[in-house]
Amino acid sequence: MIDKYRIGQGWDRHRLTSGNGFHLGGIFINSKYRVVAHSDGDVALHALIDSLLGAAGMGDIGKHFPPNEKRWENADSKQLLRNVVDRLKSDDWKIVNIDLTIIFQAEKLGSMRTKMEQAIAESIDQINSINIKFKSGEDVGPTGRCEAIEAQSIVLIKKEC
C-alpha cells in the first residue's frame, strides 16, 4: 500500500559567471551574473522538481530531462515543473506544501519573493502552500565566494484517492 503522505527533498547548484541576469524561481533576475547551465539554470525550480519527483518515487530531474539531450538545452524550467506536476496529478498526488531556500551571496533577493511565489503558483495551480526563504553563503565555499548559486527544497505531497 502507498503511504498517503510523502516528503521529498531536492537540491541544486550552478556555477555563476559574468553576464546580464538569470532565471530564478520562475522569473528573470537582472544581475551582473548569469548561470552556467544546459537548461535555463533555474536552481530553485530544479530543486523543487527534484523534491517533487523524489516524494512521488519517480527518480530525479536528470532521469526525466537528461542534460545530455539537445531537446532540453535552454529549456524553460517552468515548463519542466508543469510537466512534473502533471505527472504527479496523473498519479493522484497533490502538493500539500513547498518550502524552498535560495542561497545567493552576491545580491539581496527578498524583494523578489512575491513574484517568485506567483510564478511557481502558476506552474503548480496553487499559491497558498509556497514558502521561499533567502540566505547568503556566509562568505563560505563556492556560493559564499559568488562562484555559484544554490537552492534546497522540501515538499509534502498527499495521495488523493
- Mean pLDDT by runs of 10 across the 161 residues of the chain is 87 96 97 93 97 97 87 90 96 96 93 95 88 94 94 96 75
Query: What confidence score (pLDDT) does residue 2 get?
Result: 63
Q: How many CB atoms lie within 10 A of CB 62?
A: 13
Query: What confidence score (pLDDT) does residue 125 get?
Result: 86
Query: What confidence score (pLDDT) does residue 106 get?
Result: 87
Phi-psi region of 115 (alpha: psi -120 to 50; beta: other; left: phi over 0): alpha
Confidence (pTM): 0.95
**In sequence order, which residues have a C-beta less than 8 Å from that of residue 88 and are 6 or more positions away?**
52, 56, 58, 94, 95, 157
**Residue 133 — φ and ψ, nearest 5°?**
-120, 150
CATH class of 5-159: alpha beta
Query: What confidence score (pLDDT) does residue 38 get?
Result: 86
Distance from C-alpha of 45 to C-alpha of 29, rounded to nearest angstrom: 14
> Do the Cβ atoms of 120 and 48 come closer than 8 Å?
yes
Query: What confidence score (pLDDT) does residue 68 get?
Result: 85
Domain ranges of the chain: 5-159
